[in-house]
Homo-oligomer: A and B are copies of this chain.
Amino acid sequence: MTRKVGRIRDVATETGLSTATISRVMNGAENVSPKTRARVLEACQRLDYFPNPAAKALSTAKSKTIAAIIPTIEHSIYAKYIAAIEQTLAKRGYSIVLAISNADEESELEAAHKLLGMGAQAFILSGAAHRPELSDMFIRRGVPFVFTSVWNAVNSAPTIGYDNFEFASRAVTYLSEKGHSQIAVLHGPLSESDRTRARCDGARSAGSEGICLRFFETTLDVTGGRSAINRVLQERRDITAVLCFSDVLALGVYFGLSSEGLTVPGDISVMGFDNLDWSAAVVPGLTTIDLPAGQMGEHVAAQLVAHLETGTPIMPTKLDASIVERGSVKTIRPG
């Protein structure tokens, strides 16, 4: 078996030029005569030459790779987010290396270690709860990082995300304006996500004015939504609306309700969180908060690349979301 791939030196001897010139051509430097450039390009083609990534990275101290550590990829909202990051990065010549922490701070730290050791130039994290060593590590090494999916003005590290507290509060307000005063709030495991905790707090903050909130924790999937709504029905038949902190939960509620012979919004109103791609297609269409997951991904990716390339400081960014009104919430008493 002959040598796997050509090296810059092969191209140099082949063309009778120096490696410096080849390098110039490969990197699109201006100061190369068109003739030479053409000759080099032709030889590269012929020898199937491809600059060695490791050598290049070593020489330039740039791997063109950005790491993202996410709690899980199996919730569509994260899939959308990752897709946006990848597309944005790709457009700028960067790649994304992925790690999944399973919402565990320890795994997150380990993953960060590993990805640093893989040459990631910057990090995209999720949420606000992390091991303190995490930031320390990035700061010591001068590796830029940003937290997403949350918004925290006073955070020491830049944050690009949205205010979960506010969104939840807004959702409750919306529901109360529709005349609902007995509201069940369905949410995922509090222990796993600071975003969930923030949403619960936000809901509570809006709920104090004469409307009664009941919280139900469950697993963050359709099955969880179903079992939670069953608990709701058992405990509180006076509930008129259920706010789900994920559309996935809402879907479970739809089915749980229908299997009890109850209809949405006739018997109970349902509101979601996320605005997943199917939220418009269910019957009735799900009224939900349109989380800017895609937009967030684009923002983080774009800003991180800009920072890496030109030193532009990373701007803490607070993304907004609106409530998309569809058919799942009924007005109980007008005005």
- Which of B54, B90, B221 makes the CB contact (< 8 A) with A114? B90
Q: List the number of copies, as a whole number.
A: 2
Tell me whether B111 and A90 are in contact (CB under 8 A): yes
Contact mask A256-292 → B, CB, 8 Å, 1/0?
A: 1011000000000000000001101111000000000
CB proximity to B under 8 Å, residues A55-70: 55, 57-58, 61, 63-65
CB proximity to B under 8 Å, residues A78-132: 78-80, 82-83, 86-87, 90, 93, 95-100, 111, 114-119
Tell me whether B63 and A118 are in contact (CB under 8 A): yes
Q: How large is the interface on A (under 10, 10 to 19, 20 to 34, 35 or more residues)?
A: 35 or more
The stretch among A44-52, A149-157, A186-194 that forms the contact with chain B is A44-52
Tell me whether B58 and A141 are in contact (CB under 8 A): no
Residue contacts A-B, CB under 8 angstroms, 25 given: A48-B140, A52-B58, A53-B57, A53-B117, A54-B63, A54-B119, A55-B58, A58-B58, A74-B76, A74-B277, A76-B76, A79-B79, A86-B98, A90-B100, A95-B115, A97-B97, A98-B98, A221-B278, A222-B278, A222-B282, A225-B281, A248-B278, A251-B278, A252-B281, A255-B283
